[in-house]
Amino acid sequence: MTKRSITEAIVRGKRVLGRVDFNVPMRNGAIEDDSRIAAALPTIQWLVKNGARVILCSHLGRPKGKVVDDLRLTPVAQRLAELLGQPVTALRDITGPAVSASVEDLTDSDVVLLENVRFDPREEANDPSLARELADLADLYVNDAFGAAHRAHASTEGVAHSVPAYLGLLMQAEIDALTHLLDAPDRPFVAIVGGAKVSDKIGVLKHLLPLVDSLLIGGGMANTFLRAQGHAVGKSLVEPDLVSVASELMQSAAVREVEIVLPTDVVVAPSIDATAGEVRPTSEVGGDSAIFDIGPESARRYAKVIASARTVFWNGPLGVTENKVFAGGTAAVAEAVARSSAYTVLGGGDSVAAIEQLGLADRIAHISTGGGASLEFLEGKSLPGIAVIPENA
């Protein structure tokens, strides 16, 4: 069964409410990275080309139900206008008389952007009254905000109950890429999971384990696995409560003949802001130092496993990439993934930032725009923003 796509709808002259993910990183009022805006362009351009009256809606940051001037969407509307090559009006409200009046004034192919939808406390509460007000602005609704699809909010879920709802092109591309990993991966299928904590990724580790051939583990979460193997990890980030879960995962992998690969050497330092690290075998981490990256021998071994893969999923950096002293493991793995001829999928805010910084993003088959959403999808969970869109007749 496939979900209804916006490209199957007749949109000319219709008011189309498009939920997009314009939650871009901002610094001092400027957009640091506009890739999320760029990712929403195919759907917006399709709507414009087909004569829709386009009303876009997004959140930005965490205003927690209050108006926060620094989180207004005005700079986003400006950047979108540049990328789109046509004016985009930034409205000062989400709903209400002024918004309704602006929407009434729209002509075909016009684009307006509602104010940050999380300024309204009813958004995150999925309050039906906000869903109704949003639905009343439009004839059709399209959800293209994959990054927010795991949240049942008024603009991502509630609204779709009151107006004919469709998937956008980005949403469809994300669903296709992630479904391919779960349903039909070419083998060997290698998953690389890093990042800070086992607790953030435990769902995805459990769900992917029976599906993959090899699971390469790095980042802070590797420490909990190393502890489960009986290694002393000094002052490293460890989750003691999850050592037993790590042991269970390793046992379950052994039974299924899935290879879990852990670092055999690591980069240690006295603190996270150290200006130099020291490479040590995993078995020799001193009591007063901490692990901040996988070592070069481990990176080579991971690269070798990746080179033989035909499907790769990667989430989470292998070390503390914020400090360049600890960015080597992630860079080596990124190189290997970029060089691979496998179908490669990358998700996760920090891992995506790392690969973009390395200039390797265009060598990845699919970069997910949703960190949390892609993890929940790969955990096998139903995402409310997708579930609410009707199946094709």
Q: Is 168 in the active site?
A: no
Q: Name the active-site residue from 4, 349, 363, 381.
A: 349
317 binds ligand ADP (CB under 6 A): yes
153, 134 Cβ separation under 8 angstroms: no
List, as one string, the DSSP characters of 237-301.
Answer: ---GGGHHHHHHHHHHHHHHTPEEE--SEEEEESSTT-S--EEEEGGG--TT-EEEEE-HHHHHH
181, 379 Cβ separation under 8 angstroms: no
Element housing 37 (H / E): helix 35-49
SS3 content of the chain, % helix, strand, coil (to 5): 45, 15, 40
Of the candidates 349, 358, 365, 381, which one interacts with ligand ADP according to CB under 6 A?
A: 349
Stretch binding ligand ADP (CB under 6 A), from 26-34, 79-87, 108-116, 348-356: 348-356
User: At closest approach, how far in Å is the CB of 337 from Mg ion?
Assistant: 18
Q: Is 197 in the active site?
A: yes
Q: Name the active-site residue from 92, 132, 197, 310.
A: 197
Site residues for ligand ADP, 363-382, by CB under 6 A, read 371
Q: Is 85 in the active site?
A: no
| Residue placing its CB nearer to ligand ADP in the complex, 219 or 328 | 219
385 binds ligand ADP (CB under 6 A): no
- Give, in degrees to the nearest 5, the angle at Cα 372 between 217 and 33: 100
Sign of the C-alpha dihedral computed for residues 131, 134, 138 and 141 taken in this order: negative
Q: Name the active-site residue from 19, 36, 79, 151.
A: 36
Cα–Cα distances (Å) from 384 to 158, 199, 377, in that order, read 9, 22, 11
295 binds ligand ADP (CB under 6 A): no
| Residue placing its CB nearer to Mg ion in the complex, 3 or 201 | 201
Stretch binding ligand ADP (CB under 6 A), from 79-87, 247-255, 317-325, 380-388: 317-325
Stretch binding ligand ADP (CB under 6 A), from 65-73, 143-151, 164-172, 345-353: 345-353
Q: Is 349 in the active site?
A: yes
Site residues for ligand ADP, 218-277, by CB under 6 A, read 219-220, 237
Q: Residue 319: which of ligand ADP, Mg ion, none does it interact with, CB under 5 to 8 A by kind?
A: ligand ADP
C-alpha to C-alpha distance for 108 and 270, rounded to whole angstroms: 61
- Give, in degrees to the nearest 5, the angle at Cα 84 between 371 and 363: 45
Of the candidates 189, 292, 302, 343, which one interacts with ligand ADP according to CB under 6 A?
A: 292
Structure tokens belonging to residue 167: 């998937």
| Residue placing its CB nearer to ligand ADP in the complex, 126 or 223 | 223
200 binds ligand ADP (CB under 6 A): yes
Structure tokens belonging to residue 140: 């059709």
130, 119 Cβ separation under 8 angstroms: no
Q: Residue 157: which of ligand ADP, Mg ion, none does it interact with, CB under 5 to 8 A by kind?
A: none
Of the candidates 93, 322, 335, 356, which one interacts with ligand ADP according to CB under 6 A?
A: 322
Site residues for ligand ADP, 136-195, by CB under 6 A, read 195
Question: Could you give the angle at which helices 169-183 and 371-378 cross, rounded to 10 degrees?
Answer: 40
Task: Work out whether strand 15-19 and strand 140-143 pair parallel, antiparallel, or are unpaired.
Answer: parallel
Query: Which amino acids are annotated catalytic?
Result: 36, 197, 349, 372
Question: Site residues (CB under 6 A) for ligand ADP?
Answer: 195-196, 200, 219-220, 237, 291-292, 315-317, 319-320, 322, 348-351, 371
